[in-house]
Amino acid sequence: MNTVKIVMGAVLAAATFAGTASAEKWDMPMAYSATNFHSEHGVIFANKVKEYTKGGLEITVHPGGSLFKGGEIKRAVQTGQAPIGERFMSAHANEAPILGWDNLPFLATTYADNEKLWGAAKGKVNAALSKQNLVALYTCPWPGQGFYFNKEVTSSADTQGVKFRSYNSATATFAEGLGMIPVQVEAAELSQALATGVAEAFISSGSTGYDRKVWEHLSHYYKVNAWLPRNYVMVNKGVWDGLDGATQTALQKAAAETGALCAAKSENLSEFYFKELAKGGMKVEFAGEKFLGELKTIGAKMTADWLKLVGDDGQAILDAYKAK
Ligand code: PCA
């Protein structure tokens, strides 16, 4: 053991002396499929980091929950099992309710408004993440959220008893408001859940329906644009604090550029996804008046519940957003 340490020390000293210390290597678990734009931007980010650190930091992206499952990524980064990772932010609202800022129904339903809302929420969200030993590098919105069903739905009379795949506690609440039975399933396992009947409906963007080819199981998509939730790329705070200033600056530059590119791509793709769902045979239409009215009533209650849970910080975010 001691011999190994001494030999390793000598190798490191020699490498440093010769100025050839090898690049730092990070594995970056991501939750969604490799071909999804979030994962593609993870790769763009990794390439930028390599370039801006002049090869000093190499990040390898592991999409689709292949290194850690979606639900395990945050803990892996918090505990330093992975130095960096990506996950759906509002999935963590059960640990810190403020992380559900982007899951408030019908508050910010365009990309521009979603960006404004992030501007209002960012400071408080980052402070909450810091308490959890995390530093957020960039965030990127999914397209607007709507409902997938295996039948025509015109009101909650059609949704009673339906098995509904939720992706966080807020969507479980939404489902219950519609008389449905929520079951939490990762996007990576969604096709299987639909194929086996574990779930027969869900809320998501056109993006996830496209990735998971859900037209093989479901027939209707109702555009609702309830919210545009974000994924975020996070670094372990201890790891972050241990980086030199130049590396931190390089990561921040790569992150700012990637976040902007990713948001633009998301907006760009949103109509494409709807066309692909229709090509697959789904009926893609706006939710009808009656159903939408019911969704808005449930949404207002969800916002009130969130404000109660978060307290003053939540109200401050809404006030700052409205003042923008
Ligand atoms: N797709 C992800 C989260 C939001 C979205 O549009 C999912 O359904 O898991």
**Residue whose C-alpha is closest to residue 157's, from 191, 127, 190, 180:** 180
All domains in the chain, ordered by first residue: 3-142+229-269 (3.40.190.170), 146-227+271-323 (3.40.190.170)
Query: Which backbone phi and psi does 104 adopt, to 5 degrees?
Result: -95, 115
Give, as one character, the DSSP assignment of residue 103.
Answer: G
Q: Is the CB of 90 under 6 A from ligand 1?
A: no
* C-alpha–C-alpha distance, residues 117 and 102, integer Å: 8
User: What pLDDT is stored for residue 21 in this prediction?
Assistant: 64
CB of 36 closer than 6 A to ligand 1?
A: no
At which residue do the structure tokens 């990794």 appear? 46
* CA nearest to 295, candidates 180, 184, 142: 180
Counting atoms of ligand 1 from 1, which one is nearest the CA of 206?
6
CB burial of residue 289 (10 Å; 0-12, 13-18, 19+): exposed
Ligand 1 geometric centre to CA of 204 (Å): 5
Q: Is the CB of 207 under 6 A from ligand 1?
A: yes
Residues with Cβ within 8 Å of 128's Cβ and at least 6 positions away in sequence, in order, are 96, 98, 99
Q: Whose CA is nearest to atom 9 of ligand 1?
A: 187
Could you identify the atom of ligand 1 that is nearest to the CA of residue 187? 9
Q: Is 85 in the pocket of ligand 1 (CB under 6 A)?
A: no
pLDDT digits (tens, 9 = 90+) for 126-156: 999 999 999 999 999 999 999 999 999 999 9
Q: Which residues does residue 147 pair with via DSSP β-bridges, in sequence order?
A: 203, 222
- Which residues in the chain come in under a pLDDT of 70? 1-21
Spatial distance between the Cα atoms of 196 and 204, rounded to a whole number of angstroms = 19
Q: Which of 207, 224, 274 to mutate to test the pocket of ligand 1 (most atoms within 8 A of CB)?
A: 207
Instruction: Indicate if ligand 1 lies below 6 Å from the C-beta of 147.
Output: no
For position 22, what pLDDT does the model report? 82
Does 142 contact ligand 1 (Cβ within 6 A)? yes
Residue 31 to residue 234: CA distance in whole angstroms: 13
With CA atoms as reference, report the closest residue to 111 among 288, 272, 259.
Answer: 259
Q: Are 162 and 200 in contact (CB under 8 A)?
A: yes
Q: What is the pTM of this model?
A: 0.93
Q: Is 208 in the pocket of ligand 1 (CB under 6 A)?
A: yes
